[in-house]
Amino acid sequence: MKRMLSGIKPTGQLHLGNYIGALSHFVEYQDEYDVYAFIANLHCITVPQDPEELQRNLRDCVALYLACGLDPERSTIFLQTDVRAHAQLGYIMCCHTYLGELNRMTQFKDKMAKGEKNLSGGLYTYPSLMAADILLYDADYVPVGEDQKQHVELTRDLAERMNNRYGKLFTVPEPLVPKVGARIMSLSDPTKKMSKSDNSDKGCIYLLDDLKKARKKVMSAVTDNEARVHFDPELQPGISNLMQILSSLSSNRPMGDIEAEFEGRGYGDFKRAVADKVCERLDMIQTRYREIVEGDMIRKALTSGAEKASKIADAKLDEVQKAVGMEIKY
């Protein structure tokens, strides 16, 4: 069985973009692949966090993994810090990453370009740690949203570099980016990505948003004056974004189908249909979430996940250290 691995940073609350671009696919792939899904709590401290808030977000993030359908019986769900090998291989990967490569990473470049002050060294070397996350498990596939594709491509380069230098150490992974929904845009500004760090709360639907609030966000989403439901991300970014949301939440319903259904009808009708779908899915997730936080499922899932993941990761780290010549042979 092919192996699949991915992670999400517990910075802030998970949102619909995380769900549609990444988390819903981890769940779907459980039937086909050996799924490893972790919470990237090392990656999240690359930007400042409030400790209490982070703790709450961590717990919610695991609970939402489970509530969205990740099944600890079939998949390995774990916290990144519970498997010490991530930080250690992360350092080794960092020593094999060129400054030029890190300088080219758009996520870091964007933050620099915005003139953000006091960016950390961790943020700069983040892609090397992400490579370690993936390579520790010899993952074949990495399902991610569009914004993470470049990091997975760097991981491929690093894997090939080390395989050439030390002999075959790593499986070279492939990114899996969904055709629809890889980049869900903000509802209040459809030229920007829906993001946890969205300044305006209106543009981002959180998975734990009150349903009335979520409905209101959809109904007041920014659209245009074209007065037709038509898929054209350039000319009609707001409507196209809502279409992507509707399509992804309806088993990738074709855009032509959605266009036909709403031909000659107003945006009000269309938005109501999107809001209904969003609220229906959120309701399902939230019901399950409430059961999970009341029970003992989080602790159990993470304990068995850490144990299973550590075995694989520790063995790989050992293999790498031997190949690089960092261990003494007795």
The one among 60, 133, 198, 209 contacting ligand TRP by CB under 6 A: 133
Burial of 296 (0-12, 13-18, 19+ CB in 10 A): exposed
Q: Which of 109, 179, 192, 193 is catalytic?
A: 193
Secondary structure element (H or E) that encloses residue 324, with its range: helix 297-324
Active site residue 193: yes
List Cβ neighbours of 325 (8 Å cut-off, separation of 6 or more): none
CB of 133 vs ligand TRP, minimal distance in Å: 4
Shortest approach of ligand AMP to residue 101 CB, angstroms? Answer: 19
Please provide residue 193's backbone torsions phi and psi, each rounded to the nearest 5 degrees. -70, 140
| Cβ count near 122 (within 10 Å) | 14
Q: Output the smallest distance, CB 44 to ligand TRP, in A.
A: 9
Given ligand AMP, ligand TRP, none, residue 18, with its beta carbon under 5 to 8 Å by kind, binds ligand AMP
Q: With contact defined as beta carbons under 8 Å apart, do 94 and 128 qualify?
A: yes
Q: Is 192 a catalytic residue?
A: no
Distance of closest approach, residue 21 Cβ to ligand AMP, in angstroms: 2
271 makes contact, choosing from ligand AMP, ligand TRP, none, with CB < 5 to 8 Å by partner type, with: none
Helices (H), 168-266: 211-219, 237-249, 255-261
Nearest-approach distance from CB 84 to ligand AMP, in angstroms? 21
How many residues does this entry show for the chain?
A: 330
CB 186, CB 204: distance < 8 Å: yes
Among 4, 45, 142, 229, binds ligand TRP (CB under 6 A): 142
CA 295 to chain centre: 25
7 binds ligand TRP (CB under 6 A): yes
Closest CA to 163 of 311, 1, 323, 312: 323
3-class DSSP state for residue 38? strand
Taking residues 123 to 162 in sequence order and writing x for each that binds ligand AMP by CB under 6 A, - otherwise, the string is: ---------------------xx-xx--------------
Rule CB under 6 A: which residues touch ligand TRP? 5-9, 40, 43, 130, 133-134, 142, 144, 148, 151
Rule CB under 6 A: which residues touch ligand AMP? 8-9, 17-18, 20-22, 144-145, 147-148, 182-184, 193-196
Catalytic (active-site) positions: 111, 193, 196
